[in-house]
Amino acid sequence: MSARRPAAMLAYAPERNPDTLPAEQRARLESLVTLLPAEPVRDFADGDARAHFDELEVLITGWGAPRVTRDVLDAMPRLRLIAHLAGSVKDIVDPCAFERGIAVVTAADANAIPVAEYTLAAILFANKRVLQLRELYRRHRRSLKPLRDHAPGLGNHRKTIGIVGASRIGRRVLALLAPFDFDVLVYDPHLAHDEAARLGVRAVDLDTLVASSDVVSLHAPATGETHHLLDARRLGLLRDGATVINTARASLIDQTALIAELQSGRIDAILDVTDPEPLPPDSPLYELPNVVLTPHVAGAAGGEVDRLVTLVLDELARYANGEPLQHAQRPEMWELQA
C-alpha cells in the first residue's frame, strides 16, 4: 500500500466503460487514492462533484469523460495528475494543463497492443484474399482449386506493406511484421531515413507508398495536415487488388472517394473507423462484399481493458510514492497524438 492516498475523482460515462475497474482493480485503486465521490462523475457542472474540486490532486478519466477545460482546471487548484484509462486524451484535456505543472498520463501504450494485433491479422487476411475467396466459396459451394485462378496475387510471401505513420501503434505494427517476408514501406514526415533503417523499413513519400503497396495501413493522428491524406487522387494510385486498412481516424481518408473506389471493385478495405460512427443504416459500406467493417473494436475491449487499467494503477502507485511516472505525455508531442 502506498504511503499516502491523494484525493482523486473518477470522471467518465460508466456505460461506456463496462469492463473498467472490476472488483479486484477497484480494491487496488481504493488502496492508492481516496475517491471523492465514490462513483464516476459525468458532468463537472454537477454540484456534488464541484464540492470536492478544492481537494482534488488526481483526476482519473475514461471513455465519455467530460472535457477538462481551463475553467475546470481553474476550479481544481491542487490538481497535479490527470490519468486517462484509455488511449487518446487530446480531445478531453486542455493542453494548458502542462503550463500549470499538471502531469497527464494515458494508457495509450497498453491500447496500442490490441490495435497492432488487429492490424497484423487484417494484413495477413488481406493478402490471403479472404474477402474475395469467402464470397466465391459462399456463392459456388464447391472446390475453388487452383485458388490463384480466382485470386490473383494470393499469398503473403514478399508482399509490400505500406505503413502510414510511425506512431506508437505504427511502430508496434512494424515489430509484429518483422518476422514475415514483407517489404515494408513507411511514410512519416517525422521519421528520418536512418531511423527507418534501424527499424528495418524503407522511408518513402506517401505517393510512392500508396502506389507500391499491396496493403496500406493507417496509423497517423488526426490533424490539419493529415486530413484526407488518402484523397481521391491518392486512392487512384492504389494497385488493383490493394487493401486499405484504417484503425486510426476516419478523417485520414476521403470516405466519399473511398466508397467510389470500393464500388468499382478495384480495391478492398478493412475499416474499424468511419465518419460518422456508427454509419447511417443505408451506407453502402455495410453491404459491399470487398469491405470488412467493424464497430471500432481494434482498441482494447473486454478483457483487454485490464491492460489499460493496470497501467494507470501502476502510474498512480508511482505518483503516490513519489516515483517518476513512466507514461506521462510530453507537451511538445501533444499535437502529434491521436
pLDDT tens column, 217-229: 999 999 999 999 9
The reported pLDDT for the residue numbered 22 is 94
Q: Which DSSP category does 68 fall into?
A: B
Q: Which residues are annotated as catalytic?
A: 249, 277, 296
Query: Residue 169's CB: how many other CB atoms inside 10 A?
Result: 30
Query: Do 237 and 91 share a structural domain?
Result: no
Give me the domain span that covers residue 14: 7-107+302-336
Please tell me the total count of domains within the chain.
2
Query: Do 324 and 283 share a structural domain?
Result: no
Rounded CA-CA distance 245/74 in Å is: 41
Query: Do 169 and 76 share a structural domain?
Result: no
The reported pLDDT for the residue numbered 4 is 81
pTM assigned to the model: 0.94
Query: Do 160 and 71 share a structural domain?
Result: no
Distances (CA, A) of 202 to 70, 125, 190: 42, 23, 14
Query: Do 61 and 22 share a structural domain?
Result: yes
Of 253, 292, 289, the residue nearest 269 (C-alpha)? 292
Query: Do 71 and 11 share a structural domain?
Result: yes
Q: What is the CA radius of gyration of the chain?
A: 22
What stretches of 128-152 show up as alpha helix (H) in DSSP? 130-140
pLDDT per residue as tens digits for the range 258-282:
999 999 999 999 999 999 999 999 9
The reported pLDDT for the residue numbered 3 is 61
Query: Do 117 and 103 share a structural domain?
Result: no
Low-confidence ranges of the chain (pLDDT < 50): 1-2
Query: Do 235 and 136 share a structural domain?
Result: yes
Here the CATH number for the domain that contains residue 248 is: 3.40.50.720
Query: Do 258 and 132 share a structural domain?
Result: yes
Cα 151 to chain centroid, rounded: 31
In this structure, is residue 308 part of a structural domain? yes
Query: Do 101 and 60 share a structural domain?
Result: yes
Which residues lie below 8 Å from residue 154, measured CB to CB, with a gap of 6+?
127, 128, 129, 147, 148
Query: Do 153 and 280 share a structural domain?
Result: yes
In this structure, is residue 2 part of a structural domain? no
- Cβ atoms 58, 320 nearer than 8 A: no
Rounded CA-CA distance 210/206 in Å is: 6
The reported pLDDT for the residue numbered 131 is 83
Residue 35 parent element (H or E):
strand 34-35
Specify which residues 270 forms β-bridges with: 245, 292
The x, y and z cell numbers of residue 331, run together, are 507537451
In this structure, is residue 1 part of a structural domain? no
Distances (CA, A) of 137 to 125, 149, 336: 16, 13, 43
In this structure, is residue 116 part of a structural domain? yes
Query: Do 160 and 289 share a structural domain?
Result: yes
